């Protein structure tokens, strides 16, 4: 059972380059999300999706795009990378973010991005 799979695990970009972080889950989860984690700060929500074809902005959406064409996949696109986007990115999913009886988020292993 793969769970949540993120690629790549590590990436170095130059300022202005674009790239896509891939995220796939095989648990038929409705809810998928992207977070960034920076030292001394809590996880911050970038974008999220409550189902195929539905996406919404989180706390820090600027500079990022997402799409959800299938239940399984939720890629995160960096349009024009900036040094401020150097961070660790986590994709996470759950059956439903309204399912407060479980509410458990399943995280991918993380992607470490450095922008020079």
Partner 1 sequence: GQNIDQPTEMTATEGAIVQINCTYQTSGFNGLFWYQQHAGEAPTFLSYNVLDGLEEKGRFSSFLSRSKGYSYLLLKELQMKDSASYLCAVSDSNYQLIWGAGTKLIIKP
* Choice between 44 and 77, CB closer to partner 1: 44
Which one of 34, 74, 90, 93 is in contact with partner 1 (CB under 8 A)? 90
* Choice between 18 and 54, CB closer to partner 1: 54
- Interaction between residue 61 and partner 1 (CB under 8 A): no
Q: What are phi and psi of 83, to 5 degrees?
A: -55, -30
Which one of 16, 26, 104, 116 is in contact with partner 1 (CB under 8 A)? 104
Closest distance to partner 1 from the beta carbon of 22 (Å): 16
* Choice between 7 and 17, CB closer to partner 1: 7
User: Hunting for tokens 């996880």 — which residue is that?
Assistant: 43
**Residue 106 DSSP class:** E
Burial (CB count within 10 angstroms: exposed 0-12, middle 13-18, buried 19+), residue 16: exposed
Question: Is the bond preceding 8 in cis, omega lying within 30 degrees of 0?
Answer: yes
């Amino acid at each position: 059972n793969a769970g949540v799979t993120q690629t790549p695990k590590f990436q170095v970009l130059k300022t202005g380059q674009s790239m896509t972080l891939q995220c796939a889950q095989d648990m038929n989860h409705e809810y998928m999300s992207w977070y960034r984690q920076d030292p001394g700060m809590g996880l911050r929500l970038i974008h999220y999706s409550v189902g195929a074809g539905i996406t919404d902005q989180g706390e820090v959406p600027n500079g990022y795009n997402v799409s959800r064409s299938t239940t399984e996949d939720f890629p995160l696109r960096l349009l024009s990378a900036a040094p401020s986007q150097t961070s660790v990115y986590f994709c996470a999913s759950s059956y439903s973010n309204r399912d407060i009886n479980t509410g458990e988020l399943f995280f991918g292993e993380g992607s470490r991005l450095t922008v020079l």
